[in-house]
Amino acid sequence: MADTSTATVDKIVGLAAAGVAAIVAQKVVGLVWKASAGHRPPKPEDDGDNAVAEIIAAAAITGAVMAIARVLAARGASRVTARLESR
């Protein structure tokens, strides 16, 4: 029974950590993009004045950073719950 509750807590903590990491990653990508390109990254609701290459680059960079942040957050949350369980 303890394994099930631990797995549930691990999933909940991992989900929360991944969500926070995704928000932070999105903000970081936006800030870095603005610093390097001079404007915010293109969004889907933008009119269409952005080059296709810029849209593809923004999507690829954002997706990669978000995926890495979520994985690292989930792994960190798993380690934290494992440490708390061992106490």
Residue 64 CB neighbours (<10 A):
12
Helix axes 52-86, 2-37, angle to 10 degrees: 150
pLDDT of residue 65: 94
**Do residues 65 and 25 touch, judged by C-beta distance below 8 A?**
yes
Classify 84 as helix, strand or coil: helix
CA–CA dist 43, 26 (Å, integer): 12
* In the chain, domain spans: 2-86
Q: What pLDDT score was predicted for residue 10?
A: 78
Q: Give, for all 87 residues of the chain, the pLDDT tens digit.
A: 456 777 787 788 888 888 899 899 999 999 999 999 898 888 877 777 778 888 889 989 999 999 999 899 888 888 888 887 787
At residue 33, the pLDDT reads 92
